[in-house]
Amino acid sequence: MKLYVSDLDGTVLDHKAQISIFSKELFNRLIKNGANITFATARSIASAAPILKDIELRLPIITHNGVFIIDVNTGERLISHFYSEHSKNTAKEFFSSHLDALLVTSYIDGQEKQSWLSSRVNSGVKTYLKQRSGDKRLRECDTLDELFAGDIFYITLIAPMTELSELDEVFYNKNGLTRNYQADTYNEKEYWYEIYREDVSKANAVDELKMLTGADEVIAFGDNTNDLPMIVSADRGYAVANASEELKNAADGIIRSNEQGGVPIFIQCEQNTVWEYHRRQNDEKPDADKFSRCLADYVPNSDGIGTLNEKQIHSVLKSYFATTAYDKEIKIGRYYADLVTENGIYEIQTHNFKNLVGKLDCFLQASHVTVVYPFHKKSRLNYVDKTTGALIKVGNKKTHSSLTDFFIELYRIKQFLNDPNLTICIALLSVDDYRFTKGDTRRRKSDRKLCVPTALEGLIYLEDSDGYSRFIPDDLPETFTKKDVVKYVKNCEASIFIEIMKDVGLIDFIGKSSNEYIYRRTDKNNRRHILYRGHF
């Protein structure tokens, strides 16, 4: 059994300290399909539980850097590590003569409390308390005796005033205690000194969890120095791309960043069986003769599941992608696949990819899947007299390049875009649109419309990140803002473009300047594809 254990802040959580919708959906899909996933965090259960509430966890989580192993669904502490009396008295004595601002976390009468001295509050503690306003754990104290009451398991100094060396003389692997000292994940100018029991670490907690679950292999993920013992002791340890250099050097490998969904994507690629599939070229010239034959053979209102009253584009493309006369719809699980061929499953989806979510979750466990999206690259609007059937007006051909609708559809299945068994195929069509009207070209709500494909202009296959990089224009700067995307990306709405390119690993969030988010291109070797250049 493989046990996947990930840190939260900086590893899974984004710059807003949230798990993105993309990562949530992917984690839940993985857990549903049998992956054993949990988290090891410096947070308390009170802080971690709201963040993880939409993740359908089946395993306990590790909190406070290894102090507790907790059932996140019930709140029960399965394993606990409190200070000894000696350690508690040592800390109390030290801070009676050193006036650092302290946050002391303990259990008092069976309830978790986070206490501070009203006479010792610096800017870091003020910010911390403000962010947790209303938290029932918070407890203001007037004396050290009050502050050190109960079963203590964690002491935190935010921006300590005592020198690091002096603190370490008492707390770093001494008096039954140890510490972690690192920059705050969300404010790198502010350092935290955290004191806990000497035998407490994420690494030790993961070993305990490994025994609890019966796992025989642990794969760990992290970003900062408090993750180092866990990364080193795990059977395999990986650093996200935004991790500290120290952690990267110690890790077995570096994966995508926290903003790009690095952890769930890695687990997905490792868990999935990669089905045999004949990979297509990114740009493929279609077989014009075959498409013409499919057009000629189209029969409206043919019988059969999924084909009754089928639109012509759907039906013709289905015939085109069939490799033999025996390729047909087959029921897989509780869904019917449009087409099952020797090269996997094909689904023709003209719009509303949301309807594909259930199908893809099922089909990708059985076969490679190609989703075909018909894109009307060229169109012509014609008017027909609905009484006589006579052609009133033939329009001019128009070429279309806007990919906004396509990217919106991709967003609806974003949790699948990195699946090695999924290919997206854009079928570039020429179509004739017919509007049936009353002998003139005025548009009425009662007019009937019909779309007829006339030619297949090209096929674009998106197999992986490199395939999607075709949509990044050559002149988009290496670091950029949303305003730059608006300026340089002319064929897609900026926000949806950023989300999709981030999800497929081609751009990354790197910070904020004033009120603007800053992004960086991470497309491999800055590769470009000609198709984007103004004539999609």
Name the 3-class secondary structure at 520.
Answer: strand
CA distance 353 to 301: 24
pTM (predicted TM-score):
0.80
| pLDDT, one tens digit for every residue, the chain (536 residues) | 999 999 999 999 999 999 999 999 999 999 999 999 999 998 988 889 999 999 999 999 999 999 999 998 888 999 999 999 999 999 999 999 999 999 999 999 989 999 999 999 999 999 999 988 888 899 999 999 999 999 999 999 999 999 999 999 999 999 999 998 988 877 778 899 999 999 999 999 999 999 999 999 999 999 998 899 999 999 999 999 999 999 999 999 999 999 999 999 999 999 888 898 898 889 999 999 999 999 998 877 544 333 333 488 999 999 999 988 777 788 999 999 999 998 999 999 988 999 999 999 999 999 999 999 999 999 999 999 888 888 888 889 899 989 999 999 999 999 999 999 999 999 999 999 888 888 787 887 778 888 899 999 999 999 988 899 999 998 999 999 999 999 999 889 999 999 999 999 999 999 988 889 999 999 854 433 333 323 33
Instruction: Please identify which residue in the block is written with the tokens 């102090």.
Output: 67
Asked if residues 8 and 256 have their Cβ atoms less than 8 Å apart, the reply is no
Which token pair is 351?
């719009």
Beta strands 507-513 and 479-480, pairing class: unpaired
Q: Cα separations (Å) of 317 from 290, 348, 407, 460?
A: 10, 7, 21, 14
Beta strands 479-480 and 328-332, pairing class: unpaired
Residue 111: DSSP 8-state? E
CA distance 218 to 195: 26
The identity of residue 9, as a single letter, is: D
Asked if residues 177 and 87 have their Cβ atoms less than 8 Å apart, the reply is yes
Name the 3-class secondary structure at 284.
Answer: strand
What are the structural domains of the chain?
A: 2-77+201-271 (3.40.50.1000), 85-197 (3.30.1240.10), 283-463 (no CATH), 470-532 (3.30.63.20)
CA distance 381 to 86: 85
